[in-house]
Amino acid sequence: MLRAIWLLILLVLGVWAALFLRQMGGNVEISVGNTFIGVPVWLGLLVLVVGFVVLHGLLSAWKSLRGWPARLRARRAARHRRDGDAAVTRALVALAAGTPDQARLEIRRARGLLGDTPHTLLLTAEAERMAGRNDAANEAFRLLSQREDGKFLGLRGLLRDAMQREDWPAAQRLAREAEAAQPGAAWVREERAALAFRTRDWKEALALSPPGQLTGHRRAALALAAAMQDPDTASSLEKQALSAEPGFAPAALAVARRLAGEGSPRRAKAALQAAWAASPHPDIAEAFLADEPDALARVKAAETLTHENRTHPESRLVLGRTALAAGLTGRARAELEALVSSGQADRRAYLAMVDMDAVELGDSAAGRMAEAKWLRAAASAPPEPRWQCLNCGTVHRKWEPICEECSTPGRIEWTGGGAAKGGAVATT
Ligand SMILES: [Zn+2]
């Protein structure tokens, strides 16, 4: 509207100027050699204006003609982009609906329209993987990993595949590359930790497991497992294991063995005593009494070991057994009877009672009666505690970092009483 008003004003001004000039009269004269042209001023101006308009029109038409192929290309690119985006959306819907063949079709169309972009390559890989064509999926991931903008995504896909194929060396290499491409990515850290567990690289698994996530027995088990793999840092790893679970007998034994080896037998014994106070275990008692050759000295040593938790069933059992071995039957009977009447006795207590009555009563009618009584009690008593995988129930003869039956790391624990879940006894 405003433009129309301006045009009208301009037109009125032009007509007025032309009329004015005509009224004024006057000529424009051009002489070239002998030729002489003379026109009125208004006609001269009119020719000039018309000439300018025609020239401008011609130039504009030429420019528009020259830009035509580029405009055509841009229009085609925009159409491709629109169609490609629509195909990507349809592929995503097909993937979400679990129809990989449809997804592959749409993604092929999208790739034809948009070319190899991180989106189309990633979707290709996912669709191929869903269709069970792992080679084609890996090819797309490989292409993606060669691009600067899609490197991490490509490596992530390849790593996932390598872990599925259980190709551990390739998985470790890819995990390192992914870590370099995206330092500190939580996902890479988790995958590397999982990888370390799968390859039984306990030290790496320990280093990659966040302290908050891995506590208590699992941390202790992992630290001790790492110590068993790496002699260079074993000493500090063993201490780490013991501080994560102060009553963890295998860690206490390892620490004590190391201290004794370093010429500190008193500190070794103190470590065993501390572990016993936290959680009594027969292996600790065995190690504590190992270098006491005299039976009476063993009784004294057992008293020293157990003085923090005198009434614990394991304490009573070790006190009763050492007293019996030293011929202190009165003392042994007091401990073992207290244990039996506490209701916490397992099979070992009743078998110790059999031994004691054999010493006290000998091969007499009373002795045989007592033996039969204790054996019956032993048969129905809970079994002694043992190393058992809490995942599959397998009983192990000694502590191991990983249960070979179910390949679960850090779940073999010292369990008392109740029957094994699986009932299987491994020969490990
Ligand atoms: Zn198991």
The overall longest dimension of the chain from CA atoms, in Å, is 166
One-letter-per-residue 3-state SS of the chain: CHHHHHHHHHHHHHHHHHHHHHHHCCEEEEEECCEEEEEEHHHHHHHHHHHHHHHHHHHHHHHHHHCHHHHHHHHHHHHHHHHHHHHHHHHHHHHHCCCHHHHHHHHHHHHHHHCCCHHHHHHHHHHHHHCCCHHHHHHHHHHHHCCCCCHHHHHHHHHHHHHHCCCHHHHHHHHHHHHHHCCCCHHHHHHHHHHHHHCCCHHHHHHHCCCCCCCHHHHHHHHHHHHHHCCCCHHHHHHHHHHHCCCCHHHHHHHHHHHHHCCCHHHHHHHHHHHHHHCCCHHHHHHHHCCCCCHHHHHHHHHHHHCCCCCCHHHHHHHHHHHHHCCCHHHHHHHHHHHHHCCCCCHHHHHHHHHHHHHHHCCCHHHHHHHHHHHHHHHHCCCCCEEEECCCCCEECCCCCEECCCCEECCEEEECCCCCCCCCECCC
Span from the CA of 69 to the centroid of ligand 1 (angstroms):
71
Span from the CA of 124 to the centroid of ligand 1 (angstroms):
39
Span from the CA of 392 to the centroid of ligand 1 (angstroms):
4
Span from the CA of 409 to the centroid of ligand 1 (angstroms):
8
pLDDT tens for residues 147-186?
888 888 899 889 888 888 888 888 888 888 888 888 877 8
For residue 97, the model assigns a pLDDT of 92
For residue 417, the model assigns a pLDDT of 52
Span from the CA of 402 to the centroid of ligand 1 (angstroms):
8
Span from the CA of 59 to the centroid of ligand 1 (angstroms):
86
For residue 291, the model assigns a pLDDT of 85
Span from the CA of 415 to the centroid of ligand 1 (angstroms):
14
Span from the CA of 403 to the centroid of ligand 1 (angstroms):
4
Span from the CA of 389 to the centroid of ligand 1 (angstroms):
5
Span from the CA of 329 to the centroid of ligand 1 (angstroms):
42
pLDDT tens for residues 35-86?
888 877 777 878 888 899 999 999 999 999 999 999 999 999 999 999 999 9
For residue 215, the model assigns a pLDDT of 76
Span from the CA of 410 to the centroid of ligand 1 (angstroms):
10
Span from the CA of 142 to the centroid of ligand 1 (angstroms):
37
Rounded Cα distance between 210 and 206, Å, is 8
Span from the CA of 57 to the centroid of ligand 1 (angstroms):
88
Span from the CA of 399 to the centroid of ligand 1 (angstroms):
12
Span from the CA of 413 to the centroid of ligand 1 (angstroms):
10
For residue 190, the model assigns a pLDDT of 81
Span from the CA of 321 to the centroid of ligand 1 (angstroms):
33
Blockwise average pLDDT, block size 10, the chain, 428 residues: 84 81 77 81 81 93 92 92 92 91 91 88 90 89 88 89 86 86 81 84 83 80 89 88 90 92 89 91 91 88 90 92 89 90 88 84 83 87 90 90 87 69 40
Span from the CA of 396 to the centroid of ligand 1 (angstroms):
9
For residue 164, the model assigns a pLDDT of 86
For residue 412, which phi and psi values (nearest 5 degrees)?
Answer: -85, 115
Span from the CA of 387 to the centroid of ligand 1 (angstroms):
11
Span from the CA of 165 to the centroid of ligand 1 (angstroms):
23
For residue 163, the model assigns a pLDDT of 85
Span from the CA of 406 to the centroid of ligand 1 (angstroms):
4
Span from the CA of 166 to the centroid of ligand 1 (angstroms):
20
Span from the CA of 217 to the centroid of ligand 1 (angstroms):
16
Span from the CA of 412 to the centroid of ligand 1 (angstroms):
7
For residue 427, the model assigns a pLDDT of 41
Span from the CA of 428 to the centroid of ligand 1 (angstroms):
12
For residue 39, the model assigns a pLDDT of 79
Q: Residue for token digits 């106070």?
A: 277
